[in-house]
């Protein structure tokens, strides 16, 4: 799917969720810890949100991040995701591509994905903070996770598990592409 279509889908779903919740742009900004201009620019496709902003919006709107970019029309009891049929989204500001590995079941609590982070990729200057837990398994490359002020460097085969309420962010340390298998238990989706 073309990047412009993916970005437009994110904008549409954020606006749709805001309207479902009966929130003005100002109320949505307060609830998500962002500014009204950020919400307005995202909804009108004038701004591509980074992963930290998407996490803040998802948390404030009581949604999994995947809700904003997946085709959620056909939720099932069992989701089979074939290798060539994964839904993915590219977040250019973070040099990040997220491939969904099966978050389309009814009332899911897990976001399971493959993260492909290109050289220089990082989550941004704002730390991510949200309810839940995360497991990150480095499949190739080298990545640093900064969790509650401590640095954890992962190379191929290394794994880190942490409570997501701790301020955290990441940065690709590899001179090429790093791949991370990611599982996020998102308790806000309950």
Give Rg (Cα) of the chain. Answer: 16
Closest CA to 148 of 131, 133, 169, 130: 169
- Residue of 79, 86, 94 lying closest to 49 (CA atoms): 94
pLDDT tier at 69, thresholds 50, 70, 90: low
Which of 9, 91, 2 is closest to 51 using CA atoms?
Answer: 91
CA atoms within 13 Å, Cβ hemisphere of 68: 31
Query: What is the SS3 assignment for 16?
Result: helix
**Class in CATH terms, 3-68:** mainly alpha
Dihedral over Cα of 6, 84, 63, 19: its sign: positive
> Under CATH, domain 83-189 is a member of which superfamily?
Jelly Rolls (2.60.120.10)
Closest residue by Cα to residue 161 from 178, 145, 140: 145
pTM exceeds 0.95, yes or no: no
Range scoring the smallest mean pLDDT among 3-7, 101-105, 119-123, 167-171: 3-7
Which value, to the nearest 10 degrees, does the dihedral of the CA atoms of residues 183, 106, 74, 188 take?
-60
pLDDT one-digit tens code per residue, 12-26: 888 988 898 899 999
Task: Write the pLDDT tens digit of every residue in 53-67.
Answer: 887 888 888 777 767
Dump pLDDT digits (tens) for 125-154. Answer: 778 887 889 999 999 999 999 999 999 999
HSE-CB at 92 with a 13 A cutoff on CA atoms is 7
């Amino acid at each position: 799917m073309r990047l412009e279509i993916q970005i437009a889908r994110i904008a549409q779903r954020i606006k749709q969720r805001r309207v479902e919740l009966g929130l003005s742009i100002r109320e949505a900004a307060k609830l998500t810890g962002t500014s009204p201009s950020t919400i307005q620019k995202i909804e009108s496709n004038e701004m591509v949100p980074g992963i930290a902003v998407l996490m803040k919006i998802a948390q404030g709107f009581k949604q999994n991040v995947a809700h904003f970019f997946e085709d959620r029309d056909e939720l099932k009891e069992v989701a089979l995701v074939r290798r060539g049929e994964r839904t993915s989204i590219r977040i250019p500001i973070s040099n990040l591509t997220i491939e969904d590995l099966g978050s389309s079941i009814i009332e899911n609590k897990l976001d399971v994905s493959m993260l492909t982070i290109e050289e220089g990729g990082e989550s941004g200057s704002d730390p991510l903070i949200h309810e839940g837990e995360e497991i990150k398994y480095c499949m190739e490359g080298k990545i640093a996770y900064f969790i509650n002020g401590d640095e954890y460097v992962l190379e191929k085969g290394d794994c880190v598990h942490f409570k997501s309420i701790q301020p955290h962010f990441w940065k690709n340390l590899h001179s090429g592409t790093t791949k991370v298998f990611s599982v996020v238990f998102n308790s806000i989706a309950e």
